[in-house]
Amino acid sequence: MKAEDVFTNEFAIQFDEDSKSLLIFTVHQGRLDPPIRLRLDTLTEMGAAVASKWVGETILLLIPEMREKLFQLEQITL
């Protein structure tokens, strides 16, 4: 797996009512990849402030330029 297969600038986010989960899809060349699934129960246990921070950081860390400039993390090779 290559870093460009994981990191992206495009996402689709939806709440799946059946599984009570927030789904974060990375999008590569118009294709939705299997989602990161965050269960509502897990987010609720964290509390609103922590869950919001965690979801935001999860997305920001998947964006190459944000990862490098905001978090000062070097590009990685997977």
- Residue pLDDT tens, the chain, 78 long: 677 778 999 999 999 999 999 999 999 999 999 999 999 999 999 999 999 999 999 999 999 999 999 999 977 665
pLDDT for residue 62: 93
Alpha helices (H) along 1-78? 40-46, 48-61, 64-69
pTM: 0.83
pLDDT for residue 3: 78
pLDDT for residue 1: 66
Cα dihedral 35, 36, 41, 44, rounded to 10, equals -120
Task: Report d(CA 33, CA 31) in Å as an integer.
Answer: 6
Task: Report d(CA 76, CA 59) in Å as an integer.
Answer: 17
Task: Report d(CA 78, CA 69) in Å as an integer.
Answer: 20
3-class DSSP state for residue 21? strand
